């Protein structure tokens, strides 16, 4: 049996796809997998902020088109790039075990946000990271920083380099370039991660029962429950890339999760936070409850 798998061409995307294939072959040794690399609109346009050109969905568009036309059977994504509401006919079928979901300060000069001097320059193109940084350190100068991980790291060594940039720990670790001398994870209390951060997602056509049965076998349920509690928050607000929104769930024992949420406006003038706890199988209900409470605070 041949499974055709669409993925972006970046080094991280290929590594993540290889992890999915390895997992598939562990369960189904007879399966053959064909990688179909795709250059997405988000990969091609690197000189503009995502929120000005269509958001993170631009990293999925071409992959999802190949799914819908039947050119491929599965598509692999970083779950943090997947909008809450998917195109009709597609669904997330499984996730792999979550990597470190935290954000990370990367700097060759300083070891923490507190060490950054007044007026320090920090690079990020994430609205979520930008408004949280402004809340913590309103003196910082935030500049756009796009491109793949290595491209953004290279900017730290370039002329007029920023003092620091913010990246996801999970990507650095999967690439094998997490350096404890220059990479400093931020606690989830300091900076709530993006929903699904650190998680690899497998997308399929909703009517493909064969792929549903296969994906069910490799789905990492503990991570799946966490992702449900995070992503339903996105679904509720159907937020755009201009909306600062965050959701992070974690286990406090084997069956109970604690979920932190944030929602705000583009300027960061109004940020609302809420934390909920509940049974792991009730992630969607937890997220909806938190969203309703936050929405009530807005008015």
191 in a structural domain: no
147 in a structural domain: yes
Q: What is the pTM of this model?
A: 0.92
Residue 264 has pLDDT above 50, yes or no: yes
Tell me the pLDDT tens digit for each residue of 32-74: 999 999 987 655 555 555 444 444 566 688 999 999 999 999 9
Tell me the pLDDT tens digit for each residue of 152-182: 998 898 888 999 999 999 999 999 999 999 9
Are 37 and 153 within one domain?
no
Q: What is the CATH number of the domain that holds 136?
A: 3.40.190.10
Are 263 and 204 within one domain?
no
Q: What is the pLDDT of residue 159?
A: 83
The full 3-state SS of the chain, as one line of letters, equals CEEEEEEECCHHHHHHHHHHHHHHHHHCCCCEEEEEEECCHHHHCCCCCHHHHCCHHHHCHHHHHHHHCCCCCEEEEEHHHCCCCCCCCEEEEEECCCCCCCEEEECCCCCCCCCCCCCCEEECCCHHHHHHHHHHCCCCEEECCCCCHHHHHHHHHCCCCCCEEEEEHHHHHHCCCCCCCCEEECCCCCCCCCCCCCCEEEEEECCCHHHHHHHHHHCCHHHHHHHHHHHHHHHHHCCCCCCCEEEEEEECCCCEEEEEEEEECCCCCCEEEEEEEEEHHHHHHHHHHHHHHHHHHCC
206 in a structural domain: yes
Tell me the pLDDT tens digit for each residue of 181-190: 999 999 999 9
Task: Enumerate the β-bridge partners of residue 98.
Answer: none
Q: What is the mean pLDDT of residues 265-271?
A: 77
Sign of the C-alpha dihedral computed for residues 233, 6, 9 and 222 taken in this order: positive
Are 213 and 293 within one domain?
no
Nearest to 250 by CA among 215, 280, 217, 216: 280
Q: What is the pLDDT of residue 238?
A: 86
Q: What is the pLDDT of residue 42?
A: 57
* Containing structural domain, residue 290: 228-299
Are 158 and 239 within one domain?
no
Q: What is the CATH number of the domain that holds 283?
A: 3.30.160.40
Return the higher-pLDDT residue of 201 and 126.
Answer: 201
The pLDDT > 70 percentage for the chain reads 92
Confidence of residue 11 (pLDDT cuts 50, 70, 90): very high
Q: What is the mean pLDDT of residues 112-123?
A: 96
Are 69 and 215 within one domain?
yes
Are 7 and 72 within one domain?
yes
190 in a structural domain: no
Span between the terminal Cα atoms of the chain, in Å: 55
Are 8 and 96 within one domain?
yes
Instruction: Name every residue whose Cβ is closer than 8 Å to that of residue 145 and which is 6 or more positions away in sequence.
Output: 123, 124, 125, 152, 155, 162, 165
Tell me the pLDDT tens digit for each residue of 211-222: 999 999 999 999
**Length of the chain counted residue by residue:** 299
CA–CA separation, 267 and 89 (whole Å): 35
Q: What is the mean pLDDT of residues 8-34?
A: 95
Long-range contacts of range 186-191, CB-CB < 8 Å, 24 or more positions apart? 186/102, 186/103, 186/104, 186/105, 186/113, 187/102, 188/101, 188/102, 188/248, 188/250, 188/260, 189/260, 190/113, 190/132, 190/136, 191/102, 191/103, 191/129, 191/132, 191/133, 191/166
| Range with lowest mean pLDDT among 99-103, 121-125, 220-224 | 121-125
Contact yes or no for 157/104 (Cβ under 8 A): no
Are 267 and 161 within one domain?
no
Mean pLDDT of the chain: 91
Are 108 and 177 within one domain?
yes
Tell me the pLDDT tens digit for each residue of 278-287: 999 999 999 9
Q: What is the pLDDT of residue 114?
A: 94
155 in a structural domain: yes
Domain tally for the chain? 3
Are 154 and 83 within one domain?
no
Residues labelled catalytic: 81
CA–CA separation, 297 and 63 (whole Å): 38
Are 180 and 200 within one domain?
no
Q: What is the pLDDT of residue 77?
A: 95
Confidence of residue 151 (pLDDT cuts 50, 70, 90): confident
Are 97 and 205 within one domain?
yes
Q: What is the pLDDT of residue 284?
A: 96
The pLDDT > 90 percentage for the chain reads 80
Boundary of a domain, candidates 166, 185, 204: 185
Q: What is the pLDDT of residue 269?
A: 74
């Amino acid at each position: 049996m041949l499974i055709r798998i669409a993925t972006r061409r970046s080094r991280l995307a290929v590594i993540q796809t290889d992890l999915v294939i390895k997992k598939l072959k562990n369960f189904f040794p007879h399966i053959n997998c064909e990688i179909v690399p795709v250059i997405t609109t988000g990969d091609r346009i690197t000189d503009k902020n995502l929120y000005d050109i269509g958001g993170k969905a631009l990293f999925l568009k071409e992959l999802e088109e190949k799914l819908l036309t039947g050119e491929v059977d599965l598509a692999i994504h970083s779950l943090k790039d997947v909008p809450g509401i998917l195109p009709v006919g597609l669904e997330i079928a499984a996730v792999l075990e979550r990597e470190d979901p935290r954000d990370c300060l990367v700097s060759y000069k300083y070891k923490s946000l507190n060490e950054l001097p007044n007026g320090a320059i920090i690079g990020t193109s994430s609205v979520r990271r930008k408004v949280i940084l402004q809340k913590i350190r309103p003196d910082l100068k935030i500049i756009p920083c796009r491109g793949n991980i290595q491209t953004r790291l290279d900017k730290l060594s370039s002329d007029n380099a920023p003092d620091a940039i913010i990246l996801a720990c999970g990507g650095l670790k999967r690439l094998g370039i997490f350096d404890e001398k220059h990479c400093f994870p931020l606690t989830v209390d300091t900076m709530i991660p993006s929903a699904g951060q650190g998680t690899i997602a497998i997308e399929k056509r909703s009517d493909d029962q064969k792929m549903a049965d296969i994906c069910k076998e490799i789905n990492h349920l503990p991570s799946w429950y966490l992702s449900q509690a995070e992503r339903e928050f996105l679904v509720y607000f159907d937020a755009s890339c201009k909306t600062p929104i965050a959701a992070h769930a974690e286990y406090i024992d084997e069956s109970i999760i604690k979920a932190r949420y944030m929602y705000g406006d583009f300027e960061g003038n109004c940020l609302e936070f809420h934390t909920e706890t509940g049974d792991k199988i009730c992630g969607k209900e937890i997220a909806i409850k938190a969203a309703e409470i936050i929405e009530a605070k807005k008015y």
